Chain A
Amino acid sequence: MRDVYLIGIGQTKTTKNAGIRGRYLAADAIEQALESAGLERDRISMLVTGNMMSGMLTQQQQLGALIADVVGLRGIEAATVESACSSGAAAARWAFMGVAGGFHDAAIVCGIERMTHAGREDITAALATAADWELEGCKGESFISLNAKLMKLYMEAYGVTAADFAHFAITAHDNGYTNPNAFLQKQIDFDTYMNSRMLVDPVKLFDAPPVCDGAAAVILACEDVARAAARSGLPLIKVAGSAIGTDSLALAERVDQLQLSGVALSTKRAFAQAGVSKDDIDLFELHDAYTIITSLSLEAAGFAEKGRGVHFGKDGEIALDGKLPISTMGGLKSRGHPVGATGVYQLAETYMQLTGTAGANQVPGAEVALIQNIGGTGATVISHVLMAA
């Protein structure tokens, strides 16, 4: 297996109802990534797109070949990978395997989602296909209701209240405030969080991520290509770990509902591959789709004891200058959650952190990062460890 490096990034600003077609968003992100890597496009021989709902909401599938054609790469190997909200990281995992396995020297990963043009009901129905349709989806469960179920159970089991989750949302918005690509570029305080609209009890508006459109791209390459393209002054960023862990789609099928086994498996595998432990991690770009998922992820990934995840970071530990910053560019909550693109935004943002180019959002001295992208309520969990080489 060859070493794999992340050598270029591109992101569009996450937007709503901008009417920009998916292929333009993707082309924008990919052009930025090629420019950022300083790579000629003829070095690219693979494109993997991450997307969840294009077929359902825009009647367009086969985004791999379509986008390859649109960006002047007609003919190369291209396909789409789907794993609901973790489709973006899944695409990265596939490209990683393509480069690590020696099949390709340089590959583009493009996460793309366009959803805000559709009606609220259509979006909710499309998102619900990530749950187990036979056991949950057809009963009328939505992603909000499934997360509400988990949050209620967590509050009951550990004797905590809704107020205990506030700092996750506040921190995400603090960070998104200074990210020009963020969708909700605004800060919120405790009262704003507590008084936000109830969606499905106990999940409030600021526990959930906003629906938005966006595309992000990263370029993965073998060592030769990475060294040749290296920019002076910027460290090489190695993809030291790349792993997927899975769990049942339906919450009902899990013995311990408050244990995200997929997170534990995925983290363990990525750490083993990278040869790191939780103590080496300088920042954790986690999948903060809901505040309850943040709590459970911190526990399952090993950063907090079971039942203590919700309290993690109340002392500022998760802020940019804390011991384990999370959602450093706003996370899903503030940067936004353009579903199939989210995992690629996370990788692009972490690249900025590790190359010291994150501007106002810079985590001081960041060298090793864990990035986690989750499909459904923990059914597909994809972890990457990036390291400044």
Chain B
Amino acid sequence: MTDPRRIKPPMGPDNGWWWDMAAAGKLGIQRCAGCQTLRHPPTPMCGDCHSTQWDTVEASGAGTVCSYTVLTHPQFPGYQYPLIIILVDLAEGTRLTSQLVDCEPENVEFGLPVEMIIQEDPDGFKLPVFKPAGAA
């Protein structure tokens, strides 16, 4: 359970689809319609071919920890500490910053296989987070 005072990300017509997918229990990735390159977070233009046309794909949710940090200070209201923030290399090749749950801080390590789960705040806000792969 996470406090509803968690800072909400900017959501609008241009990136709302990603949050709509999250609300439906899915992890989305933006895909360039010009060169098919996947990218995250959602941006207006492809960094490779500069196309502004894109569509979306659903990620498998599997990934590995590329880097991590365990937050203890300072502490903001709305978050539980120690807070494990991870940078995940998704199986599809893109990266995203997320949170690792169901894991003790001493057990997180580089290369740890993780899988996405949807966390729901008391106010109904749904956020994709990760847990160690195979963990209950």
Q: When chains A and B are docked, how far (Å) is the Cα of A72 from the Cα of B110? A: 31
Which B residue's beta carbon lies closest to that of A28?
B44
Residues of B38-71 whose CB lies within 8 A of A: 43-47, 50, 52
Residues of A151-181 whose CB lies within 8 A of B: none
Q: Please tell me if A283 contacts chain B, counting CB pairs below 8 Å.
A: no
Number of A residues with CB within 8 Å of any CB on chain B: 16
Q: A41-B50, A72-B50 are in contact. Are A27 and B13 (CB under 8 A)?
A: no
Collect the chain A residues with CB atoms within 8 Å of residue B44's CB.
23-24, 27-28, 70-71
B45 touches A21 (CB 8 A): no
| Total cross-chain contacts (CB, 8 A) | 38
Collect the chain B residues with CB atoms within 8 Å of residue A18's CB.
12-13
Collect the chain B residues with CB atoms within 8 Å of residue A58's CB.
10
Chain B nearest CB: distance from A110 CB in Å?
A: 13
| Secondary structure type dominating chain B contacts | loop
Residues of A within 8 A of B (CB): 18-21, 23-24, 27-28, 31, 41, 58, 69-72, 74
Chain A nearest CB: distance from B94 CB in Å?
A: 16
- The listed residue with most B CB atoms (<10 A of its CB), out of A24, A28, A74, is A24
Which A residue's beta carbon lies closest to that of B49?
A72
Residues of B within 8 A of A (CB): 10-16, 43-47, 50, 52
B47 touches A20 (CB 8 A): no
B12 touches A23 (CB 8 A): no
Collect the chain A residues with CB atoms within 8 Å of residue B16's CB.
19
A21 touches B47 (CB 8 A): no
Q: A70-B44, A70-B45 are in contact. Are A21 and B50 (CB under 8 A)?
A: no
| Cross-chain contact of A19 among B11, B47, B50 (Cβ < 8 A) | B11
A69 touches B13 (CB 8 A): no
B45 touches A19 (CB 8 A): no
| Cross-chain contact of B47 among A23, A31, A72 (Cβ < 8 A) | A72
Q: When chains A and B are docked, how far (Å) is the Cα of A352 from the Cα of B45? A: 27
Q: When chains A and B are docked, how far (Å) is the Cα of A24 from the Cα of B11? A: 12
Chain A nearest CB: distance from B47 CB in Å?
A: 6
Q: When chains A and B are docked, how far (Å) is the Cα of A121 from the Cα of B67? A: 40
Chain A nearest CB: distance from B4 CB in Å?
A: 18
Q: When chains A and B are docked, how far (Å) is the Cα of A8 from the Cα of B19? A: 36
Q: When chains A and B are docked, how far (Å) is the Cα of A21 from the Cα of B44? A: 10
B52 touches A21 (CB 8 A): no
